[in-house]
Amino acid sequence: MRSPSAFPSREFDGADRPALILLNAAATPARNRAFVARVLRRHPETDFTVCSPEGCQELGLAAPRLRVVREPIDPWAACARAARVFASDAASACTARLSGAGAVEADGPASLDDAYGAGLHWFDPWTRAPIARDACLDKVAWLRARFRDNDRPTVLVGISRWKRPGLDAFTTGPFGPPIHAMAAEEAVRLAPPGARVLAWATRMPERLEALCAEAGLPLWRVEDGFLRSVGLGASLQPGASIVVDDSGIYYDPRRDSRLARILKTAAFPPDLVARAEALRRLVVERRLTKYNVGLSDESGSWPKDRRIVLVPGQVEDDASVRHGSPVVRSNRALLAAARARNPDAFLLYKPHPDVEAGFRPGKIPEAEALALADRIVGGLSIVDLLDRAHHVETMTSLAGFEALIRGLTVAVHGRPFYSGWGLTEDLAPNADRGRRLALDELVAGTLLLYPLYLDPVAMKPCSAEQLLDRLSAERDAAAPSTLALSRRTLLAMRARYAVLNPIVRALRARRGVGPGAQDVSPVPKTPDKADPA
């Protein structure tokens, strides 16, 4: 048996959604030939494409309006792109209906029960738990819509091999799985007609934007979303959410991102806001964050009579700091500004996990940090700290957004995506966005309209709420740790960053992969904005 591929795009020349004749691979050639002849007689003015999961042999029919696809096809992908399907058996007809074909005609029984028997069972596509028929069909329809959203060939650029299975699940559609490339010229050369190019934002080759514009290829940037995983990208833990941005990227305020456009212009109907509120409450109740790592401090040694201010450190060469924090641009400067603004507060300084692990720049010597802060709280869970804090001072850290959804006040020294909407104390120049948003409108844009989510167990697209279930279960099953890294892995990662990464950066820079020698390490980084490798 040959392995089916996606339906070949060349068979659709001249027809966006063609009429399709789907043959039964188990039927005899004579029976299939007779079926095709009947369809042609009933529809004398229609052009047809004939295909089968096993591939089609010569039918022996002289019909100029008939195309025969000889190679095997994926019937789900083919039917999803067809305006009308004529199926030679009931099982093929059911496949066509479930895949979303425009219309389906079949020889023989057409219902699912007739096709598969009275003992048919229905399962949740993600959990495999038994569910009711209508619920299953609704879930399949949702997955079908996500599959059909990928309505053009996709070229992915700058995706590390360990991350490709997840990105493939996000971008596979009727044209099949994505094509992978690392260099700009390779991406443009491999792009089929009508393709889109998706590049990992911090690994985008320097010439890619110009080459895509010259070739007429739409270029979108990809980054991790805001509910990512249990564990850091530095431990090669794949992300379960991404953002796909057709104009910029959310952490770089130099140009409007798709998230900025959503927050500036979108209408937020009551049902969407209600869903966002429920999602926000669920995130808080389940104590979830982007990475879901860190220990709890049960010592109880926290002041009761002082205002507690949390200062989250960041990776100082992170793009969100370099481009989004024009005045305060280092962790020491942030800590000094926070102390000056809160002279009597109990100041907590939390180093960024990558900085604390020795992977990235931004470390403040302990004596200097304690001259400004009352306590260094490295290794503790951000949720545990937000539970105790009253206020957060940050440059552009996602911790500011996580504090907002938990009801804390937030002062922002940079211009992160969540500032400027009337919800934060904005200290950077030109921070105002010209619109005021309610908290759950911000949540709706940020967590519902902007990202895509993936069930990391089933490896299928899913809703935000479904991902929360998976993250909660995975976090609860894992032993608490500061970084979700074993000591052995930690030492190996430090060696990679110190020895291997500079070599690979130089080699990739020579090939034009990544912005010069910046942000192109072979092992992922984990700055606040995303896991950009």
pLDDT of residue 14: 40
Residue 182 burial (CB count, 10 A): 18
* In the predicted structure, residue 489 carries a pLDDT above the cut 60: no
CB 398 within 8 A of CB 314: no
Q: Which residues in the chain are classed under CATH 3.40.50.2000?
A: 9-120
CB 389 within 8 A of CB 406: no
Calculate mean pLDDT across residues 393-409: 97
| 142 contacts: CB under 8 Å, gap ≥ 6 | none
Burial code (b: 16+ CB inside 10 Å, e: under 16) for 425-457 equals ebbbeebebeeebebbbbbbbbbbebbbbbbbe
| 344 contacts: CB under 8 Å, gap ≥ 6 | 306, 307
The residue that leads in pLDDT, 517 or 83, is 83
Query: Percent of the chain scored above 90 by pLDDT?
Result: 52
* Helix (H), strand (E) at residue 311: strand 308-312
* In the predicted structure, residue 458 carries a pLDDT above the cut 60: yes
Classify residue 132 as exposed, middle or buried by CB count within 10 Å of its CB (0-12, 13-18, 19+): exposed
* Helix (H), strand (E) at residue 155: strand 154-157
What are the start-end ranges of the E strands in 343-412? 346-350, 375-376, 391-394, 409-412
Domain 9-120, CATH number (from 3.30.300.30, 3.90.1200.10, 3.40.50.2000, 3.40.50.2300): 3.40.50.2000
What pLDDT band is residue 531 in, cutting at 50, 70 and 90?
very low
Distance CA 108, CA 113 (A): 13
What pLDDT band is residue 484 in, cutting at 50, 70 and 90?
very low
Classify residue 161 as exposed, middle or buried by CB count within 10 Å of its CB (0-12, 13-18, 19+): exposed
Q: Which two tokens stand for residue 362?
A: 């931004």
What pLDDT band is residue 234 in, cutting at 50, 70 and 90?
low
Distance CA 465, CA 472 (A): 11
* In the predicted structure, residue 28 carries a pLDDT above the cut 80: yes
* Helix (H), strand (E) at residue 285: helix 270-285
| 63 contacts: CB under 8 Å, gap ≥ 6 | 40
Distance CA 232, CA 203 (A): 18
**Degrees (nearest 5) of the Cα angle 219, 206, 175?**
30
Domain 295-440, CATH number (from 3.40.50, 2.60.40, 3.40.1350, 3.30.420): 3.40.50
pTM of the predicted protein model: 0.80
Q: Which two tokens stand for residue 445?
A: 């844009």
pLDDT of residue 98: 79
pLDDT of residue 16: 62
* In the predicted structure, residue 111 carries a pLDDT above the cut 80: no
Q: Which of 123-132, 232-241, 246-255, 276-285 has the lowest mean pLDDT?
A: 232-241
Q: Taking the mean position of all CA atoms in its chain, how far away is CA 252?
A: 18
Encode pLDDT of 323-344 as tens digits: 989 999 999 999 999 999 999 9
What pLDDT band is residue 527 in, cutting at 50, 70 and 90?
very low
Strands lying side by side in the sheet with 219-224: 179-181, 154-157, 196-200, 219-224, 241-245, 451-455, 460-462
Provide the terminal-to-terminal Cα distance of the chain, rounded to the nearest Å: 38
Calculate mean pLDDT across residues 220-240: 81
**Degrees (nearest 5) of the Cα angle 405, 324, 485?**
65
Calculate mean pLDDT across residues 50-73: 84
What pLDDT band is residue 348 in, cutting at 50, 70 and 90?
very high
What mean pLDDT, rounded, does the chain reach?
84
What pLDDT band is residue 90 in, cutting at 50, 70 and 90?
confident
Distance CA 181, CA 170 (A): 17
Calculate mean pLDDT across residues 303-314: 95
* In the predicted structure, residue 462 carries a pLDDT above the cut 90: yes
Distance CA 257, CA 272 (A): 21
CB 525 within 8 A of CB 533: yes
Q: Which of 41-45, 112-116, 136-140, 250-254 has the lowest mean pLDDT?
A: 112-116
What pLDDT band is residue 481 in, cutting at 50, 70 and 90?
low
Q: If you write DSSP's letter for every residue of 444-505 in order, what string do you get? A: IIIIIISEEEEETTTTEEE-HHHHHHHHHHHHHHSPP-SSS--HHHHHHHHHIIIIIHHHHH
CB 158 within 8 A of CB 197: no
pLDDT of residue 474: 87
Q: Which two tokens stand for residue 316?
A: 């100082």
pLDDT of residue 131: 94
What pLDDT band is residue 505 in, cutting at 50, 70 and 90?
low
Query: Percent of the chain scored above 70 by pLDDT?
Result: 82
Phi–psi pair at 21, nearest 5 degrees = -110, 115
Calculate mean pLDDT across residues 251-277: 96
